[in-house]
Structure 1
Amino acid sequence: MNRTEHLCLMARYNQWMNSQLYSAAMNLPDVQLALDRQAFFGSILGTLNHLLAGDTIWLKRLARHPARFAALAPLQQVATPQDLKTLLFADIRGLWQQRQWLDQLILDFSQGLNETELDSSLSYSNTQGIAAERNVYGLLVHFFNHQTHHRGQATTLLSQAGVDVGATDLLLLIPSAS
């Protein structure tokens, strides 16, 4: 599996896992989703909002890459979150609608990547305004790793609330070698 194939696999995993996660989360009443559970981002809803905010911020940065990734053009219509704790949506339904749209955009973006673009760099500023420049492939690995990390937290919070998310292993999406 080459790098572009790996990123496409991660985009499919992201979409699949978010579907699993939101399906499980929607079994809880809104008050339970918003309950402060002493997690990094407070509640289940706060954690899911953080994932959406982080993904939006990174994709908007990538949209400014000189390659002008066509799949990211629709992000011009989306406001950049002010920070990673901002509650973008106060309820799971609005959050899920935006999550589905963004996950399809991530899938389309990953399917359009090529090796040359992965070897390029991206100049950006973080949420504190500190300038940085990093390799695009490395940033995309971070992007997908960040999602997995916080989905794991959300899965734990849901489990503690008595909701089973089901299978979560990437292994389930890796094609058999035979």
Structure 2
Amino acid sequence: MSTALQHLRLMAGNNAYANERLYQACCRISQAEFKAERTGFFPSIRETLNHNWEVDRYYLDALREDGKGLAVYETPHLQTAEELRSAQTWQDQQLVLFCDGLSETDLDRSVAQDRGNNGVMRETIGNTLLHLFQHQIHHRGQVHAMLAGTGVAPPQLDEFFLEFDRHSAAEKHM
């Protein structure tokens, strides 16, 4: 297996692990804190997590060539941390399964992505996955910062790759 393919599979596991840890904290805050207006790219923890869930569904649809495209954004936003946790966990499992099923040649294969007014663009599976993981990290960091303004401490999210520093919860995602 190539280093690139191994890296993407590890990133899928890391993504699931980091989301699991973040949702453990988010499920401990009150609903009022979850939907409270905060400083960030999106105005609340709830809206930021809904955005991540939407974008995951959009890109996985494109990667699997399921054909829903922008219609994934028509799904109503989920309202509670528990609802989002369940939906995101399922989505993360699907992404891990997708990455586990990839072959070397899949990484360079391009897939169509409906970009609305900009038309349908094509991008490689490898680059799309790299973008998706970076997107998740970016917005998880924002939620992490927002949690600092609540009564629940933001969790450590980077204890995945180093064997000597690995969180026990990371093991099931390796």
Matched with 2:8 is: 7
Paired AA for residue 39 in structure 2? Q
More helix per residue: 2
State how far apart, in whole Å, the 1-side matches of 2:59 and 2:37 are. Answer: 26
1:133 aligned residue = 122
The unaligned stretches of length 5 or more in structure 1 are 65-72
The number of residue pairs the alignment matches comes to 161
Spell out, residue by residue over 1:94-127, the C-alpha distance to the aligned partner (whole angstroms, 9 max, x if none): 1111111111111111111111010111122114
Q: Which amino acid aligns with 1:113?
A: L
Identity of aligned residues (%): 31
- TM-score in terms of structure 1 length: 0.82
Structure 1 counterpart of 2:124, one-letter code: N
Are positions 1:80 and 2:72 aligned together?
yes
> How far, CA to CA, are the matches of 2:101 and 2:78 in structure 1?
29
Structure-2-length-normalised TM-score: 0.84
Q: Which residue of 1 aligns with 2:172?
A: none
Pick from 95, 105, 113 the counterpart of residue 94 of structure 2: 105
What SS does the corresponding residue of 1:36 show, helix, strand or coil?
Answer: coil
Q: Which amino acid aligns with 1:160?
A: G
Q: Secondary structure at the match of 1:47?
A: helix
Q: 2:59 maps to which residue?
A: 58
| Aligned-partner SS, 2:121 | strand
- Aligned-pair distance for 1:165? 2.6
**AA aligned opposite 1:163:** V
Distance 1:46 1:61 in 2: 23
Instruction: Say if 2:45 and 2:146, in contact at 8 Å, map to a contact too.
Output: yes
Cα RMSD (Å) of the superposition?
Answer: 2.1
